[in-house]
C-alpha cells in the first residue's frame, strides 16, 4: 500500500516556522487546538515537532536554581527553535511501508513525511493508520505478524 493515499499535504497542515517566537507558536497551537505541531524552516525543511510539554517547560524558567515563570515579554525573545527537543521519532519518506509507518505512529499523534531532500511534504495521522489496519483486519488482510501489533 502506498502511504501517499493517507498523506495530508503541507497545504492543509498547520505548522510552525522555526524562527517564530515562542509566543507566536503558542498562539498558533492554541488556535488550532493541537497537542503537537510540526516545525519547518523557511526553506521548507522539516526541523522537528514541538509539543505542549515543550512550551510548558519553556514557560517554567530555572535560572540559578530558582524556579519562576517567564513573562510574555520574555517569550518574544525566544524562538521555537530554542525549545525544540531532539526528535526521538524521525520523519518518514513517502516510500515507507505501512508496517514501518505503524511503528512510527506508536508514540506520536502524527507521522511527518519528507521528500528525499528533507523537505516537509505533510503528515499522516495516527487515526488514519489505525483505521487502515482495522479495515485490513476486518477484511482478513492483516498478516499474523501484524495481528500481534494491532
Mean pLDDT calculated for residue range 91-101: 90
CB-CB neighbours of 22 under 10 Å: 25
Given a cut of 90, is residue 113 above it in pLDDT? Answer: yes
Closest by CA position to 85, among listed 123, 57, 113, 126: 57
Q: How far is CA 59 from the centre of its chain?
A: 20
Give the number of domains in the chain.
1
Given a cut of 60, is residue 146 above it in pLDDT? Answer: no
Looking at residue 116, which CATH number applies to its domain? 3.10.580.10
Residue 89 CA to residue 72 CA, distance in Å, equals: 30
pLDDT digits (tens, 9 = 90+) for 48-89: 999 998 988 888 766 655 666 777 777 788 899 999 987 777
pLDDT band with cut points at 50, 70 and 90 for residue 150: very low
Spell out the residues 6+ positions from residue 36 whose beta carbon is closer than 8 angstroms to its own. 49, 50, 51, 52, 108, 109, 110
pTM: 0.82
Q: Which domain holds residue 98?
A: 3-149
Mean pLDDT calculated for residue range 34-40: 94
Per cent of the chain over pLDDT 70 is 86
Mean pLDDT calculated for residue range 91-95: 92
Given a cut of 90, is residue 25 above it in pLDDT? Answer: yes
Mean pLDDT of all residues in the chain? 85
Amino acid at each position: 500500500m502506498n502511504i501517499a493515499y493517507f498523506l495530508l499535504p503541507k497545504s492543509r497542515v498547520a505548522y510552525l516556522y522555526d524562527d517564530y517566537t515562542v509566543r507566536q507558536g503558542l498562539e498558533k497551537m492554541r488556535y488550532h487546538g493541537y497537542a503537537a505541531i510540526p516545525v519547518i524552516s523557511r526553506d521548507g525543511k522539516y526541523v522537528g515537532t514541538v509539543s505542549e510539554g515543550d512550551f510548558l517547560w519553556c514557560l517554567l524558567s530555572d535560572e540559578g536554581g530558582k524556579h519562576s515563570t517567564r513573562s510574555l515579554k520574555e517569550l518574544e525573545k525566544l524562538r521555537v527553535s530554542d525549545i525544540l527537543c531532539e526528535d526521538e521519532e524521525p520523519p518518514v519518506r513517502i516510500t515507507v511501508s505501512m508496517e514501518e509507518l505503524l511503528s512510527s505512529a506508536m508514540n506520536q499523534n502524527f507521522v511527518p513525511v519528507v521528500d528525499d531532500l528533507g523537505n516537509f511534504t505533510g503528515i499522516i495521522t495516527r487515526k488514519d493508520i489505525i483505521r487502515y489496519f482495522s479495515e485490513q483486519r476486518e477484511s482478513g488482510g492483516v498478516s499474523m505478524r501484524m495481528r500481534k501489533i494491532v
